[in-house]
Amino acid sequence: MPVPSGRRSPRGTYTPRRVATLSNLTFLAPPAEVADWRLVILCDVAGAAGVFDELPATGTAVARRLGLDPHGVRVVLDALVGLGVLERDGDVYAPGPGTPGAEEVVTLRHHARSLRRWAMTVDHRLRGELGGDPVGMADPETFHDSLAAAARAAAPEIVDRCLARFPEARSVLDLGGLHGEYSLEFARRGVRATMQDKEAMVGVARRRGRLAEAGVELFEGDFFEAVPDGPFDLAFCCGITHTFDGTGNVALYRNVRRVVARDGGVAVVTFVRRRNPMAELFAVQMLLNDNGGDTHTEDEYREWLGSGGFTPDEQIIDLPELGGRSMFFAR
């Protein structure tokens, strides 16, 4: 069986692909391109302990500075060398071309949390047992930063498409905006942005301060209970509609309809079942959250948007570069 994460050298020994050569470090990478699970776990523990920040150094020096077990540090560092993440010269370990940067470490750490959760929880959910808190709630800072990295790259194209569909839009409500990367991109285009999310996520955004500096208004609260007063020209829903079921979707669209201008609309970016294999894989992540989340079909979204008072566009836009998500609009 071929090994998908590396290559054979002329001598027949295995040479791993370095982190720097992997284009997608998230758990949503295509099946044949997903990062080695051992690399993910080891980068998570090394990043959490601050090991990367201490290099170059000997393993003994790293252990002494961080108060860690010297034997454990040496084993982890050697494994990271074997995986092409670090380089070693004698007893000194150092970053190399394959060492993840700060943003990549955050992505790998979120990947590791998802990996552990799948390993510990899928079997319980298969039996109908509860799976615990959603991924990210225990560590909102890492959750925030890992999703921000992916959104930052996608935001220009996503906002381009929104403004092409609603060229007169001057205000946007970014629902469940989390990291605010889309709000920031709208603000850069001169669109007044309001981002709504739950207390923990808005708290992270407030501490970071980037959104306030850009003029993005923050609204804290559950959008099933209240949304900011409108009218807004556009309601932007990215990464939220798959977190609840049809009842939740209809309730969301009805709430949003009240604050969207008469000639405004809604943009939805999500995984649509049966349009990309990643939608089916992502459904497992939603299964573990115990809140009714799932990936849904195009027909279901059309029905729910109609029940909420919107008329969906005929076209759905597939975004393979955004992990298999799709995008659609409704007025």
**CATH code, domain carrying 253:** 3.40.50.150
Residue 145 lies in a domain: no
Cα separation, 278 vs 240, in Å, equals 16
Supply the range of the domain harboring residue 107.
1-136
Query: Which residue is associated with the tokens 């040496």?
Result: 74
Residue 255: inside a domain, yes or no? Answer: yes
Q: Are 63 and 69 in contact (CB under 8 A)?
A: yes
8 class by beta-carbon count within 10 Å (0-12 exposed, 13-18 middle, 19+ buried): exposed
Same domain as 104, residue 59: yes
pLDDT at 293: 87
Same domain, 307 and 267: yes
- Assess whether 160 and 307 both reside in one domain: yes
User: CA 327, CA 317: separation in Å to the nearest integer?
Assistant: 5
Last residue of a domain, one of 136, 170, 205: 136
- Whether residue 142 is contained in a domain is answered as no
Within a domain: 149? no
Query: Residue 78 sits in a domain of what CATH number?
Result: 1.10.10.10
- For residues 257 and 285, state if they share a domain: yes
pLDDT at 132: 54
The count of domains in the chain is 2
The domain boundary residue, chosen from 136, 164, 187: 136
- The predicted structure's pLDDT at residue 246: 94
Domain match, 158 and 118 both: no
- Asked if residue 93 belongs to a domain, the reply is yes
Tell me, yes or no, whether 143 lies in a domain: no
Are residues 166 and 68 located together in one domain of the fold?
Answer: no
If asked whether residues 252 and 121 sit together in one domain, one would say no
Tell whether 85 and 159 lie within a shared domain: no
pLDDT at 139: 67
Would 44 be classed as within a structural domain?
Answer: yes
Q: d(Cα 238, Cα 240) in Å, to the nearest integer?
A: 6
Query: Does 130 share its domain with 165?
Result: no
Question: What is the structure's pLDDT at 6?
Answer: 43
Q: What is the pLDDT of residue 15?
A: 52
pLDDT at 60: 97
Domain co-membership, 177 together with 124: no
Q: Which residues contact 7 (CB under 8 A, 6 or more apart)?
A: 14, 15, 17
pLDDT of residue 7: 41
Q: Could you tell me if 110 and 71 lie in one domain?
A: yes
For residue 269, tell me if it sits in a domain.
yes
pLDDT at 8: 38
Distance from C-alpha of 239 to C-alpha of 271, rounded to nearest angstrom: 8
Position 142 scores a pLDDT of: 76
Do residues 250 and 284 share a domain? yes
73, 105, 136 - which closes a domain: 136
The tens place of each residue's pLDDT in the chain, 331 residues long, gives 333 344 433 444 545 556 766 677 887 777 778 889 999 999 999 999 999 999 999 999 999 999 999 999 999 999 999 999 999 999 999 998 889 888 888 889 988 988 998 999 899 888 888 755 554 455 677 777 777 777 888 899 999 999 999 999 999 999 998 889 999 999 999 999 999 998 888 888 888 888 999 999 999 999 899 899 989 999 999 989 999 999 999 999 999 999 999 999 999 999 999 998 888 988 888 888 767 789 999 999 999 999 999 999 999 999 887 778 999 999 9
